[in-house]
Amino acid sequence: QVQLVESGGGLVQAGASLRLSCAASGGTFSRYTIGWFRQAPGKERECVAVISWSGGSTYYADSVKGRFTISRDNAKKKVYLQMNELKPEDTAVYYCAAQMNGAWVNPNQYDYWGQGTQVTVSS
């Protein structure tokens, strides 16, 4: 079983950058695909970015492509989400999640979730 803890959220102005971290414990972290999801009030949980167990493959939602970068350090059991050029519409609670196999963008395919970290972008 894998435990995930997100950090790095905060309140920033539009155009600023934030770096989210997802720290894992337990399990064999390097075997898991890790996804970053976000959920804004009144909206469904949305897949933002995903990285394969090796880091060799990634996915980005169209809304963040070119602004966000996902990376991982298996030795440190961490996954990062570098968010640049933040927009007010990026405001949401951001979650990291882990899975071994399944559709990357479907949150129901993920087995383990962190508690989330709030990102608020003011205009």
Q: What is the pLDDT of residues 40-96, one digit of tens each?
A: 999 999 999 999 999 999 999 999 999 999 999 999 999 999 999 999 999 999 999
Q: What is the pLDDT of residues 102-112, one digit of tens each?
A: 889 999 999 99
Residue 101's pLDDT is what?
84
φ/ψ of 48, rounded to 5, equals: -100, -50
